[in-house]
Structure 1
Amino acid sequence: MRRPRRWPGSLHVVLLLYLVVFLAPSPVSSIVVNTPAELHASKWDAVSLSCTFTSTSRPTSKMTVDWSYRPQSGGAPLTFFHFSSRAFLPPDGQFVGRIQWKGVPARGEASISLINATLKDNGTYTCSVRNPPDVHGSPTSHTVLTVTPKVPRIRFSDVAVLLAFILLPSAIITLILIGRMLCPKKQRSQSKDYRSPIEVTEGEEYGVHPAEPKATRATCCDLYLKDSEDEDEYYDLKKRPPADDEYAESQC
Structure 2
Amino acid sequence: MSDGDRIPEPPEDEPGPLSSFERMVFTGPPPASPRLMQLGEEIVAATVLRFKNFREDLERAEGRAIERMKAGEISQEDAQLLFLDSSQSVSKPLVKRYLEKREYELIYRFLHFRIMYHPTGWLTERNRMAVDTMLADGEDGLAIGLLREFLKKLYQHTQEKWRAAGRKPPKSMSDPVVIEQMAQARDDALLELPSHLEIAEMELAEIEFYISEHGSREDNRAIEKFREEIAKARKRFGLDT
Interval containing the TM-score (normalised by the shorter chain)? under 0.3
Normalising by structure 2, we get a TM-score of 0.14
Normalising by structure 1, we get a TM-score of 0.14
Higher strand share: 1
Higher helix share: 2
Decide which structure has the larger Cα Rg and report it. 1
| RCO higher in structure (CA 8 A, sep ≥6) | 1
